[in-house]
Amino acid sequence: MKKYKYILFDLDGTLIYSHPGIYACFYYALKEIGWQPPTAEQLKLCIGPSLMYSFQNYYGMDEATAWKATQIYREEYGRTGVLQNEPIPGALELLKDLNKAGYKLAMATSKPEKYARQIADRFGFSAYFCAQTGCGFDGSFPTKASVIEEAMKRAGASADECLMVGDRKHDSEGAKEMGVDCALLKIGYAESEDEYEKANPEFIFEGFEELKAFLIK
């Protein structure tokens, strides 16, 4: 088995369940710009990718409209959505066990870094991360690949030392772009069961216990 030194974690659908706040903020942003309300299918697809990607690809907005919707969403998320999430059962214990086993852990999420850090602090995750990376309000790190690249830079890690752990195809796609292996967990917000296979990650695990059994021998 390849020996990894760094484990990079996505946040939404990987360490936390965050859909109540995300859904509410999408509704709010779309209403504010006079767009039609989102469907249940559209909302589920929006957990994982960047906001700009979601507004452009799932709602058909042009770049300018998507940027306006993104700003409205983020303002509302900072007021309400950031509080509407909960840790996935076993997430903190997983981080503790991997840290104890000698792995260096980092967060690599498409959620704005300010909010991701607030959530990680509240649930006790931050104590186990050597680096925490999310997208910037200024448009920096707009893709999953760019977030992963920055997380590796901050952690001082090379691609061959890392395993990216996530729950969506975007995690696998971003990892592949950066030459990083990826493990998808079947506990999050995948569009369907087929998404895991189509994403073609190096590994697919049912949940935390399988991941931990794989990494800790």
Residues annotated as catalytic (active site), given as ranges: 10
Closest C-alpha to 163, from 98, 111, 110 = 98
Residue 106 and residue 175: Cα distance in Å, rounded? 14
Query: Helix and strand tally (H, E) in the chain?
Result: 10, 8
Handedness of CA 62, 17, 114, 146 (dihedral sign): negative
Residue 6 and residue 67: Cα distance in Å, rounded? 33
Count the Cβ atoms, other than its own, within 10 Å of residue 74. 20
